Every structure is written in C-alpha cells, then in structure tokens.
Amino acid sequence: MGLEQRTLTVPALVVMIIAASAPLTAVAGGVTTNYAVTGMASVPLSFLIIGAILLIFSIGYTAMSRYIPNAGAFYAYVAQGLGRALGVGAAMIALVSYNLMQIGIYGLFGFAASSFANASFGTAISWWVMALAAWAVVGFLGMNRVDFSVKVLGIVVAAEFLIVIIYNIMAFAVAPEAPEPATSFNLADAVAPGMGAVMAFTIAAFMGFESGTIYNEEVKDPKRTARRATMIAVVIIACFYAFSAFAVAVGEGASNVIGASVELGPDLIFAFFGAHAPLWFVDLANILFITSLFAALLAFHNVIARYFYAMGRGGALPKLLSTTSRTTHAPVAGSLAQSTLGLLVILIFAVISHGKDPMYVVFTMFTWMTNSAAYGLVLLMSLTSFAVIGYFKRNRTSDSVITRVIAPLIAGIALAYVFMQIIINFEILLGMEEPGMLGYVLQGIVILPGLIAWVLALVIGSSARKAPKANKLPVG
C-alpha cells in the first residue's frame, strides 16, 4: 500500500516547510548566534542573499517534482540526473543528515523544556525526560495521517510568527538608536571578508525548505503544489527573517547588537521581553520557543519517515521500510525506524551528560548534530542542481532554458561556494576555537555512508550488467 494520496494543499505544505525552519528558534537562536560569532552587522542582508540563491535553486528543483513525484526527492533526482549509483550515495547522505538534524533538536528541546519547567515549578527534571516525552508524541503523530500533523504544526507556526512580530514591533518602538538599514543591508558586505561565515550560519535557518517535494505523492496537485509551496515558503522565510534580524539590531542599537549577542546569546530576545513586557508574556514566549522546537522535530520526523519509505521501496534499503499503515497510509515502518534511532541517541547522551552542566547537551548533541546536518544538506542541494541539468539534458520537456540549465547552474555554483564556506568555518559553527579531530569526525559521519553506498551501488550495478537477472537498485 502506498502513501496517503492527495490531501495536502499549498497552504498546508507551506506550513510544513516553515515549521521545519522553526521561526522563533531561528530568530532567537540563529540570528543572535550569527551576530555574536561572526561580528558582522550584515546578518539581515545574508538572509536575502541566501533566500535569492535558494529561490533560484527551487526553479529547477521543483520542476523535477513534476516528472519524478518521489518521496525520496534528493535520492530520486540525483539518481535520474547523475546516475543510479550516485543517487544511492546521495540518499544515504540525505538520510544521515536529516536524522542528525531531527535528533540533534531533541537536545535543545530537552534543555529548554526542562529549564523552563524547573524554573517555573521548582522541579529538577533532567533534559532527557523532556526529550523522551517529545519523542513519544512525535512518534505517535508520525504514525498518523499527515494532515493531522499539519493541523498541529499550523497552530504552532502561527503562534511563533505572532511572537516574533510582536518582538519586531516592540524593538522599533523602544529603539535606543535611530535604525540604520544602510548598515544592516549594505550590499558591499556581500563580498566582504567574513560574509562567508555569516552565510554558513544563515543557510542553517532555511534547512527544511526543500522538504516540500518529498510530499509530492500526497499533495492534491503534484504538478503545481510543491512548486508553489516551496517558492512561497522561501520568500516568506527570507523576508521575515531578514526583517527580524534587522529588528534585533534596532532593538539593541546598531552599536550594541553584537556585544549584546555575545553577552546574552539566544537569551537576548527573552531578556528584551523581560525588560519591556509583563512576566506572563515572557513565559508565553518561552513556551512558544519550546513548541517551535517541537514543530521542527515533527516536521523533520515526517520527512525522514518518507525517505526511509522511498529507499525501502526503491531497494536501497530493506523493503520492510516501505510498509505503510492500512488505516492512515502513513509510512509506519519509516516512522518507527526514525523513532528508534532518536531513542538510541537520546539514551546515549543521557548517559554521557550525567553530572555535567545542563548546557552540555546544547553544546554537543544539538550543535554538533544540526551543523553536521546542514553541511550534508547543502552538499546535496549543490549536487541536485547539477542533477537537474543532467536530467533535462536526457529528457526533452517544454521547460524553458532558464529552468533546465541557467537557474540550476547558478544555484549549483552558489551552493558549492556556501558549502566550501561551511567547511572553512566548520570549527566556528561547532563552537571550537581551532581546528580539531572532532570536525573531521562529524564531517566523516555525514560523507562516509554516502561514499560507501555509492561504491556498493557501483559494484552491484556492475554485477547486474554482467548477470542481467541479478537484482538492481531501482529508484522506485
């Protein structure tokens, strides 16, 4: 039995995509960390630059979804555009990267939820207790109809946007200095030293935007829904985050925003609320920060479950993983597989972090895993851009030369540049002062499974050509 058919609309898919980017988390955590670590005032500009790159990327990427409506997305597109073996390798990198992103967020969720509960009720709940509670709910929702998840995410995302909008209004209302848009959006900074590091941080806030095509087997209009939803989501994310990053500079003052970000980090926005809003609103903002993380957990869980499903159906992983529910049509085997991996990692870090500072799990589980995930996903996006060119070269369609060649070529080169910046600044992203073995290990965890899968697929493919009756690795 296949996935549930034709229930997702454009608005529903936009919600799923934006939920993965976690708006409140991106602004409270990502923007302030970007200011603090890079020391650059042009963080707002970086959102517009990355947004433009991803919008160009989406032109060719979403065009592929009209011809290859596969829940494996990167996997299927690279296989069709650059060859089956490379597609299998890309699939493993995608699977590892998405799992790292989703499971890493459990660390920050557990810390944030336990800290809030302990401060509010005088308890002493460990981070992993809260992480396991979220894990159970995410697993339950992942086994149900995807439109049920959309309803949950829709409420959370709407509340997140409202909180950030209120913050933006308050920031302009109490601005200690005159706003300086010329500083925050200085086009000369686009090629300034240090902008590469800024973009390496910024693109992490967009991760999940590409997930729209993964639901193409479940949307009402497979030829238009994913394309429109992805374009809309990228524009919303880029513009909203750019303006919000500017609001952070306005609220703290252009001359003080970097220093305040270094001092307070992700607490900057909540400290601002504490100084200018009633206590109940501060508590509400903290609760919505936690639910923002939950929304990202659920969104990425649904993506990973469908990747397992697509790879099981295509033969790259055991066929058992392609099992779907008879009642909800959800990819139950993929959902269970992802939940199992999440449980194992949570338990491992629960043991490792015992007796350590509560922030330990944020600096390790969350920071290491999510930045490694961004490393892998940006590599895949660059690879997919060139796969788009390869696919349309071999398959004649009515698409324009912009869709078939120009847009994917520009996106591929731009994303390769961002990927190189992530490599160059990887230690900074991990919070390390100098290069060390940890950075190489984490990059290896992402890349090696893909390389091994690619080599194995080449060997199996070669054997299949010699013996036509042997099993192959279809795309599905």
String of DSSP letters for 150-201: HHHHHHHHHHHHHHHHHHHHHHHHS-SS---HHHHT-GGGGGSTTHHHHHHH
Pairwise CA distance, residues 244 & 248, whole Å: 6
Pairwise CA distance, residues 343 & 56, whole Å: 37
Chain centroid to CA 141: 19
Task: Please determine, for residue 404, whether its predicted confidence score (pLDDT) is greater than 50.
Answer: yes
- Is 473 a domain residue? no
Q: What share of the chain is helix, strand, coil (3-state, %, to 5)?
A: 80, 0, 20
Supply the pLDDT for residue 392.
Answer: 94
Task: Please determine, for residue 2, whether its predicted confidence score (pLDDT) is greater than 80.
Answer: no
φ/ψ of 174, rounded to 5, equals -110, 15
Task: Please determine, for residue 217, whether its predicted confidence score (pLDDT) is greater than 80.
Answer: no
| Integer-rounded Cα radius of gyration of the chain | 22
Mean pLDDT of the chain: 88
- Is 411 a domain residue? yes
Question: DSSP string covering 59-120, please?
Answer: HHHHHHHHH---TTTHHHHHHHHH-HHHHHHHHHHHHHHHHHHHHHHHHHHHHHHHHHHHHH
Q: Would you tell me how many other CB atoms lie within 10 Å of the CB of residue 49?
A: 22
For residues 77 and 316, which has the higher predicted lDDT (pLDDT)? 77
Pairwise CA distance, residues 382 & 204, whole Å: 15
- Is 3 a domain residue? no
Tell me which residue has tokens 């095509």.
213
- Is 316 a domain residue? yes
pLDDT in tens, 149-199: 677 778 888 888 899 999 999 999 999 999 999 999 999 988 888 888 899
- Is 240 a domain residue? yes
Pairwise CA distance, residues 227 & 378, whole Å: 19
Name every residue whose Cβ is closer than 8 Å to that of residue 351 and which is 6 or more positions away in sequence: none
Supply the pLDDT for residue 473.
Answer: 44
Supply the pLDDT for residue 6.
Answer: 59
Pairwise CA distance, residues 348 & 341, whole Å: 11
Supply the pLDDT for residue 147.
Answer: 64
CATH number at residue 151: 1.20.1740.10
**Cα angle vertex 444, ends 439, 448, to 5°?**
175
The pTM of this model reads 0.87
- Is 471 a domain residue? no
Q: How many CA atoms lie within 13 A of 284 on its CB side?
A: 14
Name every residue whose Cβ is closer than 8 Å to that of residue 224 and which is 6 or more positions away in sequence: 10
Pairwise CA distance, residues 202 & 48, whole Å: 10
Supply the pLDDT for residue 140.
Answer: 92
Supply the pLDDT for residue 73.
Answer: 67
Residue 73 domain boundaries: 10-466
Mean pLDDT, to the nearest integer, of 5-22?
Answer: 80
Q: Would you tell me how many other CB atoms lie within 10 Å of the CB of residue 21?
A: 27
Pairwise CA distance, residues 197 & 426, whole Å: 9
Find, among 265, 281, 298, 235, the residue nearest to 109 by Cα: 298
- Is 250 a domain residue? yes
Lookup: tokens for 244: 């919000």
Tell me which residue has tokens 């529910």.
325
Q: How many CA atoms lie within 13 A of 257 on its CB side?
A: 31
Pairwise CA distance, residues 204 & 373, whole Å: 9
Percentage of the chain modeled with pLDDT above 70: 94
Supply the pLDDT for residue 470.
Answer: 45
Pairwise CA distance, residues 23 & 162, whole Å: 10
Let me know: does 373 contact 107? Beta carbons within 8 Å: no
Tell me which residue has tokens 């100098």.
434
Pairwise CA distance, residues 229 & 224, whole Å: 8
pLDDT in tens, 88-140: 899 899 999 999 999 999 999 999 999 999 999 999 999 999 999 999 999 99
Task: Please determine, for residue 464, whether its predicted confidence score (pLDDT) is greater than 70.
Answer: no
Supply the pLDDT for residue 274.
Answer: 93
**Domain count within the chain:** 1
- Give the model's confidence band at 200: pLDDT under 50 very low, under 70 low, under 90 confident, else very high: confident
pLDDT in tens, 356-393: 988 899 889 998 999 899 999 999 999 999 999 999 99
- Is 196 a domain residue? yes
Supply the pLDDT for residue 468.
Answer: 53
Pairwise CA distance, residues 418 & 198, whole Å: 10
Pairwise CA distance, residues 256 & 183, whole Å: 13
